[in-house]
Amino acid sequence: MNDTFTIRFDLSIGYISYKFIKNADDTYHIIRTQYLMNCKKTQGWEHVSQEEVAQLKREFMGK
């Protein structure tokens, strides 16, 4: 898996994106940015395992 990648969903009223950043301990930080109807909200998770990231990637990208 790449060290950093982004999955973005473009919507008619904005977008939702997830940025995955790999840590030195082989876990990921995930930053979720939601921009809908001119309102921006950011949420994050730390130390997410590679297995969880692989599952999210499969679900989000349909792979």
Query: Per residue in 5-50, pLDDT tens?
Result: 999 999 999 999 999 999 999 999 999 999 999 999 999 999 999 9
28, β-bridge pairs: 22, 48
Which ranges of 1-63 would DSSP assign to H, the alpha helix?
A: 50-61
Q: pTM here?
A: 0.84
φ/ψ of 26, rounded to 5, equals 65, 25
What distance in Å separates the CA atoms of residue 23 and residue 18, rounded to the nearest whole number?
Answer: 16
What distance in Å separates the CA atoms of residue 29 and residue 21, rounded to the nearest whole number?
Answer: 5
